[in-house]
Structure 1
Amino acid sequence: MIFSWLTQCWGVRLKEPALALPGTGGDCVAAHDIMHVVQILSINDEGALIKVRTVAGEERSVYSSLPELKLMRGMETAVEKFRKNLPPDFESSACHNGNNENYRNGRKIIDNPETVEWVATYQGIEHARGKYLVWAEVDVTQRVKVIFTSVGAYSQCPGAVAAIPHCHRDTFKQYQKMEESGPRQPARETVDGYKLIKHIQDDVYVGDRQIQGAGLSGDDRKVTIKLEARDTDAPSLEREVENLLSFSGEIGFPLVERYGTQDGYRFMVCRLAGPTLEDLLEWCRAFSLKTVFLLAEQLISRVEVIHRRSFIHGGIRPGAFALDTIKALNQVTLVEVAGLITEHPRRNDARYFDLEGLTLMLIYMCRRLAPWEGLQIDLTKTLYEDILRQMEDTRAEVLCEGLPRAFKVCLEYVKFPDHTNEPDYNYLRQLFRSAFDENRLLRDGVFDWIAYKNWNSQQGCSLPVAGITGEVGSKRLSGEDVRRERNAQADLLYQAKEACVSIAKADKADWTAAASAHLELTRRYIDIWDLAQHPEIPTDLRRWPEGHQLQEKVWQIGIEPCLKLLEAGLPHTRNLMTGFLHRTFILLTVFVEKAPQYEEKCARYLLGLSKWGMEHDPHGSWAGVHSRWGESAGDVLEASVPC
């Protein structure tokens, strides 16, 4: 049971259950959906209430059974932190969950320091449920065991500071400082029609589109909202907005949905990104060669766009890039743009420095679990900045020993460049494309996190399995496998079309259902379109989408009818229109990157989206999208895209 297990592994002794059963504080979750455990909130002999980061990049409070908890990434660290935060008399104090009656019966909750005569003993502190909780014994009319609901409330009591042992005072001061410097809360719970639903970090929130009725589901409703007080000493949000607007329409850069000021705050609204590469490394432990090759192509393209817009990144690292969500799960997106700096017009040095940082990051992602001789540090426990400094001082032969030649060739190209010429980004991309054939890997877009998740769901496992990436990376699909997949996708497409037809025939327009149905239909068209690009698909199936004119139907049946329906419902459908435009933009740019031979056709649709956006969402980034894809598509667009 959990008690004996904790006692054996960490010396924790618990007597009473610390958690109610599912239904009292969190959803049940399977371990293969978890990237890592952030924090253990409560624990008993059946399971635990834990805070986790999911594969989709969200933080959630969930209930986990004991077998699943043991398999989760980061569990050991979370339990160790939990043990350190237990008060000395935890055996008699029931649990950490303030909603549990045993907890309230065991200790009195104190939020008013004026009721306390004297603090007798300080027993511990914990950050839980967004609050800093302090355990102590105090004198009221008699000696009682209590929990203060804040560090501030504890500090105001007579004898509070003196009661803290010297060995704990530095830790207490750190908690006190964190509580005092917590994020400033906005005066309102909504920002320009978006509801703040969860705080992520600093002044960054997950927001929800305020849509009546069913609306778009899941991540289609969610956005990232950044806030900044107008009276801040070091404003940066305006610069971040300007940077992002300059990238409008580029693949792999978030579109700004809204920006402005409200209630003393500047705000910016963008689509919600998925997990960062740093998060995925924590879950996968290291990336296979195949995944690094796939990432390299996209990352080189992102850096090329940054340089083309006359910026330098200067801080390339795994946390600076994230994946998108839903059907864009394999599209790499730049998420750190506030620190971009303007490039000196006559120097190329900084561009090569960016590319050197990118190459070292690619090597690091391969070798995280297999450090090479000459770099004697634990790559899983050392800060990336410290690792990078050591890598920069290590010879290319040492860094790239045992890796495919593409890494060494790329590193030498960027470390010893001809500064009179701009970097050849196509040459660097081709290095890693050629590496697929050289290493007998399939360039099919299947990343490690997809392979792990699929493998785990079939095998009943919950963590990456040694050797799986090599097996999946070289797997070859049979013709029967591909046909079975095509038939399954065709069935889903038919169902999505029937749903749209049914909504169109209804007597009363259901805008929210229409937006959801047409977005699903667009996804299904692109799924089949995408399947036809698989390197091993038979010739007859490769031609199937074109024979059925699926590319044209993406716009004619999937996108345009929904936009017309939402237009008829304005102003009530404003947020639905914005959400639909942004989601379809993401879907189309994902496919442009996967199948560049269809860029002209996709450019027509992206130009069409930008026209709708400029008319009905003028505060967004659509003028930039129109400029970007108007240049790509040429004069044929004006006659091709209705609006």
Structure 2
Amino acid sequence: MAEVVGAVFDGLTLDGKYQLIGHIRSQVFLGHDKFSGEQVAVKIEVNDANSKSRLRHEHEVYNHLRDEVAAIPSVLWYGHVGEYSVMVMELLGPPLDRLLHKCGGTFAVSTVARLAVGAIGLLEYLHCKGFVHRDVKPANLLMGLGGQVGRVHLIDFGSAKRYRNGKMHAPYGEGIPLVGTLEYASLNAHLGLEVSRRDDMESLGYALVHMAKGLPWDGLETASSVTQRRERICEKMISTSAEELCDGLPIEFVAYLDHCRRLRYEEAPKYAACKYLFRYICGDDDAPYDWTLLGQNECVRKIAAVGKPDTFEVSANVITPDTISSLNCSVHTSTFI
């Protein structure tokens, strides 16, 4: 697909100024503004006469979100070239899955917590606009460039869906096909239930645990079929409590996931309280991310420090049972001793 599209668009100018110059990943290509030299991302989709364009839908969602939050990329142009739909967007930095690979497969807890604060804020904004993302995962969380280099951004709204029109919440439903990525989809999504705000938050929780230590179902890729793999992941999710899932991580991770899993279908997550939990872990907003320390001994030390008791003692001293109870969680108070 990438080679075919690249050959078709090689040297082509879009909207009189955006020229394709390279490939980034999947359906996303690198372009530049011929006049300013500014680099851009170009997302391309083959039109399908039998179904609504996913890229067109994504463009419509971006129109509802644009110009209000710097951590959601701007759409610069949308149009059609032959049998393709094309969207030119603000270029962002690397996705978290790629940075995770560069850092050896895990991030320090402080890095994950700092990312959590930003990502929760993004989901809060998206939900405030009436949408759920439905595919929250490290690959859809990108760091910025330039003045936004330390800020996490949310992308890929092709699966996004309105959960609310005005003040009316979408009705509860069952037998719903799973949308998103198996490893990070919520338990409700795996069970075929209609998703809502709680499910985006739960998916983020799985992404955070994956980046901090890995998920119990990360090793299930060897299943013989997608259906079998989904069944195994679902079984593992059902049998794994939040405390077991976050074993070795600060109690804030347990409290967060427990809160997400206990939310009712139409209930709004307690975004401020969730951000409050992770702020205690990450501390200074200007603390370096792990990938900024690559090649330095400190990076190795921080990654290796995941699970060390002294990291968690600080966290336990500032988070109280009252904070946990505000999230309607059932974390054992003995954890604070």
Is TM-score (shorter-chain normalized) higher than 0.5? yes
Q: Which residue of 2 aligns with 1:224?
A: 41
User: Do 2:196 and 2:265's aligned partners in 1 also have CA atoms closer than 8 Å?
Assistant: no
Cα 1:294/1:388, change in 2 over 3 Å: farther
* Percent identity of equivalent pairs: 27
Question: Letter of the aligned partner of 1:206 in structure 2?
Answer: L
Structure-1 residue corresponding to 2:34: 210
**Residue from 286, 308, 318 that aligns with 2:106:** 286
* 2: CA distance, partners of 1:434 / 1:246: 33
> Residue by residue, what CA displacement relative to the aligned partner does 1:551-590 show, whole Å, maximum 9, x if unpaired?
xxxxxxxxxxxxxxxxxxxxxxxxxxxxxxxxxxxxxxxx
Report the 3-state secondary structure (helix = DSSP H, G, I; strand = E; otherwise coil) of the residue aligned with 1:269: strand
Shift of 1:316: 1.4
Letter in 2 for 1:247: L
Structure 1 spans left out of the alignment, 5+ residues: 1-177, 475-643
| RMSD of equivalent CA atoms | 3.3
2: CA distance between counterparts of 1:362 and 1:333? 15
* 1:274 aligned to which of 93, 96, 99: 93
Where do 1:550-589 residues align within 5 Å?
A: none
Q: Give the counterpart of 2:63 among 239, 245, 249.
A: 245
Distance in 2 (alpha carbons) for counterparts of 1:334 and 1:422: 20
Offset at residue 329 of structure 1 (A):
1.8
How far apart, CA to CA, are the structure 2 residues paired with 1:380 and 1:287? 22
Partner of 2:147: 327
TM-score by length of 1: 0.38
| 2:46–2:85 CA contact under 8 A, matched in 1 | yes
Q: TM-score, normalised by structure 2?
A: 0.69
2:300 is matched by which residue type in structure 1?
A: V
CA offsets 1:449-475 (integer angstroms, 9 cap, x no match): 11225x27xx9xxxx52446759xx9x
SS in 1 for 2:286: coil
What is aligned with 2:255? 409
The answer on whether the counterparts of 2:100 and 2:106 sit within 8 Å (CA) in structure 1 is: yes
Out of 338, 341, 345, which is 2:161 matched to? Answer: 341
1:399 shift after superposition:
0.9
The Cα offsets for residues 486-514 of structure 1, whole Å up to 9 and x where unpaired, read as xxxxxxxxxxxxxxxxxxxxxxxxxxxxx
Shift of 1:415: 0.7
Partner of 2:12: 189
Unaligned runs of 5+ in 2: 173-194, 311-337
> Which fold has the larger relative contact order, with Cα–Cα distance below 8 Å and residues 6 or more apart in sequence?
2
Offset from partner CA, 1:142-175 (integer Å, 9 cap, x none)? xxxxxxxxxxxxxxxxxxxxxxxxxxxxxxxxxx
Distance 1:294-1:376 versus aligned 2 partners, 3 A rule: closer
In the TM superposition, residue 407 of structure 1 has moved relative to its aligned partner by 0.8
Give the paired residue count.
270
Alignment CA distance shift 1:361-1:381 (3 Å): farther
2:277 corresponding residue in structure 1? 431
Matched, 1:316 2:145: no
Q: CA deviation at 1:377?
A: 5.6
1:303 is matched with which residue? Answer: 123
**Whose radius of gyration is greater, 1 or 2?**
1
Residues 338-359 of structure 1 deviation map (CA, whole Å, 9 limit, x = unaligned): 1111115325961111111111
Native 8 Å contact 1:360 1:391 kept in 2: no
- One-letter amino acid of the structure 1 residue matched with residue 64 of structure 2: S
C-alpha distance in 1, partners of 2:222/2:150?
A: 26
The amino acid that maps onto 1:227 is I
The secondary structure found in structure 2 opposite 1:402 is coil
1:365 equivalenced with 2:211 (yes/no): yes
Secondary structure of the 1:357 match is helix
Q: When you count helix as a share of all residues, which structure comes out higher?
A: 1
| Structure 2: distance between partners of 1:447 and 1:196 | 31
1:293–1:435 contact (8 Å) kept in structure 2: yes
Alpha-carbon distance, 1:288 to partner: 0.5
Contact 2:11–2:21 (Cα < 8 Å) also in 1: no
Paired residues of 2:10 and 2:21 also in contact (CA < 8 A): no
Q: 1:470 to 1:340 in 2, by over 3 A?
A: same
Equivalent residue for 1:604? none
Whole-Å separation in 2 of the counterparts to 1:338 and 1:390: 28
Relative distance call for 1:185 and 1:233 in structure 2 (3 A) is farther
Decide whether aligned partners of structure 1 residues 232 and 292 sit closer, same or farther in structure 2, where only a CA change above 3 A counts.
same
Q: Show the counterpart of 1:255.
A: 74
Q: Distance in 2 between matches of 1:262 and 1:205?
A: 15
